[in-house]
Each structure stands twice: as C-alpha cells, then as structure tokens.
C-alpha cells in the first residue's frame, strides 16, 4: 500500500499555477479537498487532480457544450 503524496499550500499553488491565497480560499470553501491536522493545510495529489478535472475550463468530451447567447 502506498501512502499518498501530501503537498503544502505553497506546493499546491505551484502545481495549480495560482497564488497561495487562492488555494486557501478554495480549501475553505470546500472546492479543494484537504486536511488541516495542525495549523497547516495538507493537500493530496489526488485532490489536486480531481479539482483540475472538475474546475478546468477545457471542454470535456462527455459533456455537451452550452451555447452562450449574444447580448447586443
């Protein structure tokens, strides 16, 4: 059994190409899963990949694309 790789907020921010504050905001809102055993957040690699799958703006092949209405 392998143990999951845990990342700090700084490492997760580098992986997600965003700021540390954005990672903390996503953790507090529950959109990014993590644990806070002491005073520091720990995020698993699988939580980051799930977050990227759910919230990335690339089109998914199984989801139909919504058409936006133009407002003039």
pLDDT in tens, 17-38: 999 999 999 999 999 999 999 9
List all residues 6 or more positions away from 64 whose beta carbon is below 8 Å from its beta carbon.
none
Collapsing DSSP to helix, strand or coil, 42 comes out as: strand
pLDDT band at 71 (very low <50, low <70, confident <90, very high): confident
pLDDT band at 69 (very low <50, low <70, confident <90, very high): confident
Neighbours of 63 (CB within 10 A): 7
- Among residues 28, 26, 35, the alpha carbon closest in space to that of 55 is found at 26
């Amino acid at each position: 059994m392998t143990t999951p790789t845990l990342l700090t907020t700084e490492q997760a921010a580098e992986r997600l190409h965003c700021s540390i504050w954005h990672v903390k905001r996503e953790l507090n809102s529950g959109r990014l899963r993590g644990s806070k055993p002491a005073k520091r957040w720990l995020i698993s690699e699988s939580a980051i990949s799930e977050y990227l799958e759910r919230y990335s703006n690339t089109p998914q092949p199984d989801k139909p694309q919504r058409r936006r209405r133009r407002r003039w």
